[in-house]
Amino acid sequence: MQRHPNQLKGSLYWIAASAVGLLILNYLVATDALDWYYAGVLSTAGIYIILTTSLNLINGITGQLSIGHAGFMAVGAYTAALLSVHYDTPFVVNILAAFATAAVAGLVIGLPTLRLKGDYLAIATLGFGEIIRVVIQNLKVTRGAFGIVGITWVDNLFYTEIVVLLSVVIIWRIVNSATGRALIAIREDETAAETMGINTTLYKVMAFAIGSAFAGVAGALYAHRMTYISPNDFTFLKSVDILVMLVLGGLGSITGAVVSAFSLTLLPEFLRFIDEWRMVIYPLLLVVVMLFRPQGLFGTKEIDFGALGAAFRWLKSRFGGAVGSAPQRTVETASPSSGMQTEVQTSSLQPAGVQPDLSGQPGSAAVAPAEPSSRPFLEVNGLSIYYGGLKAVSDFNMSLPEGALHGLIGPNGAGKTTVFNMLTGLHPPSEGEIRFRRKRIDRLPPYRISSEGVARTFQNIRLFKDLTVLDNVKTAFHMNVGYGFGASLVRPPSYGVKERRVTSEAERLLEILGLQERRMELARNLPYGEQRRLEIARALATRPRLLLLDEPAAGMNPQETASLMELIRWIRDEFALTILLIEHDMSLVMRLCERITVLDYGVTIFEGTPDEVKRNPRVIEAYLGQEAN
């Protein structure tokens, strides 16, 4: 997501531009410069803009493939039509009612179907779209295939454009807030999103319901423009039209959706001269665009005034000669060889001016050493999990005091990551209980466990690959942004303050992990070691009490590993964390961890201090095999 540095200024530009646009349009219609036919075409374009941006919220932003959008449009259209015909209610009431009924339809359909993924979800939405149409066709109140005639005629382009503007602004604000970041996180990696404390089911259903609601609004506009609707206006082909506009504009780009919906509605008007071949050329064009620009015209980028300015400067530099202000390019400085930059960062990340203790004495700084007698911070009893007949982990026990730095080791396939999956709720255990700060968490969904204060990194890195480094961390602040959904719509002054605070805190975390230089790069372009550090930064952003690190040093060179070790210890003290880590690098584990648990074939074979572990014959046997007699 490209975001304008100054949001307020950016949106003022937009408001001014749209106001001017509306005034011009109205002037043209009022003076008959624009005849009623083209005014009608523009209204249709507006309706398609709403449909496309609302579908974008579901398909592009949240990544849930829905291809039955016309069904919700039908719900809204029939709501408005019936109200208008039977009760003669005003336009505004009909629009709001259409919004509500379509939202309810979206909720009812979204709740069961959003458990499905990808193509299955697509087919289910297609199915529901068709069922809605067949139901309308068979109901008495909707007059079946005859349709409804005599809907009040509201063809004021001005009203239409106002509704369009409102819809687009609302969707824009949803997308550019913590809610939007959560939705994008779901698109990028649902499992990782869940461990960042995002209730993925809730957000998916919410996006689906809101998207459907706006499709209903578009339907109501349509009904009031046509004055006649029938089930055949809302076939699968209508859904396809909307989907095509969305994908051509670029999935995930709101401005792309607007531009594409607008131009694709107007395009057939320009293709009129080849009238009878129009319907052949349109799909041909579609296939050709997909072949040569698969990501759509805009990709996931947005046009904003910053981009327009940059384009203008580029044109000027290209053709005008004078390179007054060439677009600034971030210089890709090579990452420091040590990778950590511990010295540089520490001075700036300490608001209180406390110099962190980097000498590496565990437990020397912020955290008071845990009382041995106090009730354990994390207590795991008899944890087991079965896959079919396979016991992946059986009777796992563990008890960590607060502030511990504990290692979990074992040969490949011993079940270490499975333990993490159970602790974070991704794989609910078959038996046993987990108590975290006295509270049972073994039956909680992952996002609740995350909000209890458990964060993790993944062995097979699960970053939000197509987001910037900074956005990865900002997304993880989900539970701590301090404002709600309403605030992101209304945007009171406090909203900006809180958003800026999230950004500065995210930048602070990046600084700690030595990723400040990389903050605007896509996560997928980072080298392996930096991706691992970004995962740690992201986990820290959820403000955990317990941090689970799954092979943090994998793929790092000895130098990087050494500085990572310092970093882990320092993080534990600075953030008052308890850390449990899986690692294969024995030198790191032995030097870093205070106690170590050894797993083999899902069974705990030993627990003790590093020295005890090194000497234990069972551990040696598990790692090296039995000595030959």
Partner 1 sequence: MSRVVASLLLCAVCILLALLRKYRTHVVSNPALKYSYYPALILLAALGINYLLTALGANKVYTFQQAVYGLSLGSVYALIALGYTMVYGIIRLINFAHGDIYMVGAYAGYYAVTVMHLPFVPALVIAMVASSVLGVLIERIAYKPLRNSPRITLLITAIGMSLLLENVGQKLFTSTPRTYPTIFKASYEVFGVSVDQSRIIIFAVTVLLMIGLQYFVNYTKPGMAMRALSQDRDAARLMGINVDRVISVTFAVGSALAGAAGILVGIVYPQIKPTMGIMPGLKAFVAAVIGGIGIIPGAMLGGMIIGVSENFVTAYISSSWRDAIAFGLLILILLVKPSGLLGKSVREKV
Shortest CB 244 distance to partner 1, Å: 6
- The residue among 118 and 496 lying less far from partner 1, judged by its C-beta, is 118
- The residue among 84 and 113 lying less far from partner 1, judged by its C-beta, is 113
- The residue among 321 and 389 lying less far from partner 1, judged by its C-beta, is 389
Interatomic CA distance for residues 215 and 210, integer angstroms: 9
- The residue among 116 and 358 lying less far from partner 1, judged by its C-beta, is 116
- The residue among 224 and 427 lying less far from partner 1, judged by its C-beta, is 427
- Does residue 33 sit in helix, strand or coil? coil
Query: 289-323: b or e for each residue (b if 16 or more CB lie within 10 Å)?
Result: eeeeeeebbbebbbbbbbeeeeeebeeeeeeeeee
- Which two three-digit tokens encode residue 564? 């990572």
Interatomic CA distance for residues 607 and 597, integer angstroms: 4
Chain centroid offset of residue 317 CA: 37
Q: How far is CA 49 from CA 61, 264, 304, in A?
A: 16, 10, 17
- Beta-sheet pairing, 578-582 with 546-550: parallel
Shortest CB 217 distance to partner 1, Å: 25
Residue 99 identity: F
- The residue among 112 and 369 lying less far from partner 1, judged by its C-beta, is 112
Shortest CB 420 distance to partner 1, Å: 9
Is the CB of residue 61 less than 8 Å from the CB of residue 207? yes
Shortest CB 289 distance to partner 1, Å: 9
Q: Which residues contact partner 1 by CB under 8 A?
A: 59, 65, 112-113, 115-116, 118-120, 122-124, 126-128, 130-131, 134-135, 137-138, 144-145, 191, 236, 240, 243-244, 247, 251, 276-277, 279-280, 282-284, 286-287, 290-291, 294-295, 387, 417, 421, 426-427, 458
Interatomic CA distance for residues 336 and 529, integer angstroms: 12
In degrees and rounded to multiples of 5, residue 580 shows phi and psi of: -120, 125
Shortest CB 127 distance to partner 1, Å: 4
User: How many CA atoms are closer than 13 Å to the CA of 440, on its beta-carbon side?
Assistant: 8
Shortest CB 191 distance to partner 1, Å: 6
- Which two three-digit tokens encode residue 566? 């310092």
For 503-515, what is the HEC assignment? HHHHHHHHHHCCC
Is the CB of residue 366 less than 8 Å from the CB of residue 573? yes
- The residue among 112 and 327 lying less far from partner 1, judged by its C-beta, is 112
Shortest CB 122 distance to partner 1, Å: 7
- The residue among 128 and 377 lying less far from partner 1, judged by its C-beta, is 128
- The residue among 203 and 458 lying less far from partner 1, judged by its C-beta, is 458
Shortest CB 477 distance to partner 1, Å: 23
- The residue among 30 and 139 lying less far from partner 1, judged by its C-beta, is 139
Shortest CB 109 distance to partner 1, Å: 9
Interatomic CA distance for residues 536 and 545, integer angstroms: 14
Shortest CB 89 distance to partner 1, Å: 30
Q: Where are the beta strands (DSSP E) in 441-491?
A: 454-456
Interatomic CA distance for residues 609 and 595, integer angstroms: 4
**Cα 234–237–241 angle (5° rounding)?**
100
- Residue keyed to tokens 């790692």: 623
433 has which bridge partners? 381
